[in-house]
Amino acid sequence: MSPANDNHIKSVGHRQPFATEQSSLAMPQPKPLPSLAKHAHDGVSSTVQERWLKQKGRLAMADSVGDTRTARISAEEALAMHASGRPGKLEIRISKPITTARDLSLAYSPGVAEPCLHIARDPALAYDYTTKGNMVAVISNGTAVLGLGNLGAVASKPVMEGKVALFKRFADVDGIDLEIGTEDVDEFVNAVRFLGPGFGGINLEDIKAPECFVIEQRLRELMDIPVFHDDQHGTAIVAAAGLINACHLTGRNLRDTKLVVNGAGAAAIACVELLKAMGVRPQHVILCDTKGVVYQGRTEGMNQWKSAHAANTRARTLAQAMEGTDAFFGLSVKGALTQAMVASMADKPIIFAMANPDPEITPEEAREVNPGVIIATGRSDYPNQVNNVLGFPYIFRGALDVRASTINDAMKIAAAEALATLAREDVPDEVHSASAGRRLAFGPDYIIPNAFDPRLITRLPPAVAKAAIDSGVARKLIEDLRRYARSLSGRLDPTADALDATMDMVRENPRRVVFAEGEEQKIVRAAVAFRNAGYGRPILIGREDRVQATMAGLGLGEIEGIEIHNARLSGANQKYVDYLYARLQRRGFLRRDVQRMVNQDRNVFAACLVATGDADAMVTGLTRSASVCLHDIGHAISPAAGAIPFGLTLLVGMRGKTIFLADTLVNFRPDATQLANIVIGAAAAARHLGHEPRVALLSHSTFGDPPHDRAVPMRDAVAILDQRKVDFEYDGEMSPDVALEPSIRALYPFCRLTADANVLVVPELHSAHITARLAHHLGGGTTIGPLLIGMERPVQIVPMDASSSQIVDLACLAAYQAIAQ
């Protein structure tokens, strides 16, 4: 296989680089690939060439038959992605301002002397004054690059850069890749052992066995920071999590499970050691290599690591070992496990065929023999991918945050158990979206969490940190693990910390929230998640039999704690008609019109529940446009006294930060007074979510250039804000370039904004809507909202394409509004 042709996130043992689809139209055309003769002259072995051509042919064949299970890429696309713009995948960004001479004096000479002196007196202060506490060195000598073998140190650099990128992407851990140009164990160890002062941890990568065992063991003894060989332990942790759940589904006890492991390299040995540490009986584990069973007394092809796991057995071949076994771990080669071997296994067999790019046996082949088999592979185009990215970013995150001196078995077991637990929970829509359209639920085809599950960052690091503290290897204690988990979500999403604090308040003060479209699958799942999160009591509007059938079909458990109201059959129907008729009788509505609306319009019925105090808040919008929902709700709920309703969309992760955009929902062409009110409301919301507001009132015109009548309301709104003496930064009218680009803003030295704007107020609804939707599809971040602000009772309208997670978030925010009122 070739990194240029790979289409997986880097996976266990037989490693894959992270590849992102890129359009060939968006980048320069790459140079032609070197010929095989050129490869030979460069010293690349024919075996490597064959592997590369084999992988290229496999992907080309998948393209030709219309295989849609994976993202298809070409070698040219991968090379172009790595070559375009700045070559490679990494750059270093400055985290402190170095703009003025004063900044330079603080950051370097003479100011830098102060932290130097303090660290000299107390080396632990390096964690407070430098990047050490969030910096990992990703180190390789290139002797086992992906599935390609010994390519050398410099050829391993693209993979090491990719590993650094994954650390940052999934756990906000900074990293530097270091390629060591030696295959001598002593030289390698000496090169790495002295790096400890500059890093919080060492991630060893792509080093061949058995040297990797020696290197890791010696570095762990010599260094007082975590040293982790991901090819070994990352694979073991993720595979162990999958085995826990497979045993759960098949009614097995992990301790009594009989396991055969084929392959005796770094990953296989680590799997065996971890599972034994977790309680699997040593006598129930048989290790095999290319020469057969590793048994007690064998001398051929043995080393100290194999000998430690030699079995007392009469079996001498893999086929013999497989007879009656419960589970199989393959970390070897394609075809190593035959259908006959599968047939000889115990009932409800468990198979982890983790060779890449082709597993020891495919799921299709295994199920031909036994349809009830639970099977995992290392590939992303099959269910149950054993993927190292599920482990290493979060393990290091937890280890760094408690300043651990090592990563021990207790921490690895905690990570495996946290992964297993997460897979048994309901799956967010974001994960479904990343799984090629498959609906995921705990079962034989979903025993391992998806790599894109957003909950990983808040589940694994706290588990690892707690284990480090409990086992005595932590040098910093975390007293409130829940608050720590909340801070972790904020590392990847600067708004998440404040949102999570809001959600904590809702848990402490749960509310009754109406979900108006109660028969929709997404709504039912959101209601169950809302209940399970402890936010309050969801009320579904719909027919009870259909709601219950939907819940049963989704496997979401009991209906306890969830109310179902049928508008036509509700006992409160008459009360709602009376309330609504009193509001609408002088607006052209007859009583029978109102009765029909309450009976047939779920938005009206839901709004009446909230308006009369039978519920605290409501959420709708999945099946009707926002304008229709606003019209329906407006019959029963009015704007708050003295307030202007408006929509606020959060663009999270845009340019590495959060942008608040208003008005994206209500006011088509607001006048200057309305714009000023929207500015004040949006600034207050931004401040509540932890941001000091800097508001830009946007226009095609910048401070009168070019002059146009459409820019006048934005200019007048600034004058109104001046009169009201608000306590936040604002200015306008200005173009987005001025609001968001310091170099362009410098052309206007009188501009009041001291930094980039984080609240953007757009002049008209159509431009706000276009901006929000384009940002959602093109910006690369996350969109929350629009949040409806300014109604007398809490109402939220979700986008029609909202995920269940987005619905839960808005329902929780509606509940928070009810608390705040």
Cα–Cα distance between 157 and 177 in angstroms, integer?
7
Pick the closest to residue 232 from 243, 217, 250 (CA basis). Answer: 217
Contact 659, 606 (CB under 8 A): no
Cα–Cα distance between 106 and 370 in angstroms, integer?
68
Pick the closest to residue 375 from 318, 325, 442, 445 (CA basis). Answer: 445
Residue 470 backbone dihedrals phi, psi, to 5 degrees: -65, -30
Residue with tokens 């994954």: 166
Residue 517 one-letter amino acid: E
Contact 7, 18 (CB under 8 A): no
Rounded to a whole number of angstroms, the distance between the first and last alpha carbons of the chain is 60
Pick the closest to residue 616 from 527, 505, 503, 513 (CA basis). Answer: 513
Residue 444 one-letter amino acid: P
Question: Could you tell me whether strands 759-761 and 694-698 are parallel, antiparallel, or unpaired per DSSP bridges?
Answer: parallel
What H or E segment, with its residue span, contains residue 54?
helix 46-64
Residue 252 one-letter amino acid: R
Question: Could you tell me whether strands 646-654 and 657-662 are parallel, antiparallel, or unpaired per DSSP bridges?
Answer: antiparallel
**Prior bond of 210 cis (ω within 30°):** yes
CA distances from 518 to 485, 545, 555, 621, 651 (A): 32, 11, 16, 11, 28
**Neighbouring-strand partners of residue 658:** 652
Contact 327, 352 (CB under 8 A): yes
Please report, to the nearest 10 degrees, the dihedral formed by the alpha carbons of residues 538, 540, 544, 550 taken in order.
-90
Q: Rounded to 5 degrees, what angle do the CA atoms 571, 573, 576 make?
A: 135
CA distances from 621 to 519, 521, 527, 633, 800 (A): 13, 14, 14, 11, 6
Please report, to the nearest 10 degrees, the dihedral formed by the alpha carbons of residues 10, 12, 15, 19 taken in order.
-10
Cα–Cα distance between 534 and 508 in angstroms, integer?
8
Burial class (CB in 10 A: 0-12, 13-18, 19+), 518: buried
Contact 666, 645 (CB under 8 A): yes
Q: Characterize 269-307 residue by residue with b for buried, 16 or more Cβ atoms within 10 angstroms of its Cβ, and e for exposed.
A: bbbbbbbbebebeeebbbbbbeebbbbeebeeeeeebbe
**Prior bond of 786 cis (ω within 30°):** yes
Cα–Cα distance between 132 and 113 in angstroms, integer?
17
**Neighbouring-strand partners of residue 539:** 514, 563
Residue with tokens 């000091």: 692
- Axis crossing angle, helix 521-532 with helix 544-554, rounded to the nearest 10: 80
Helix residue ranges per DSSP H, 649-756? 672-688, 712-724, 736-740, 742-745
Active site residues: 108, 163
Radius of gyration of the chain (CA): 30
Q: Rounded to 5 degrees, what angle do the CA atoms 783, 169, 468 make?
A: 120
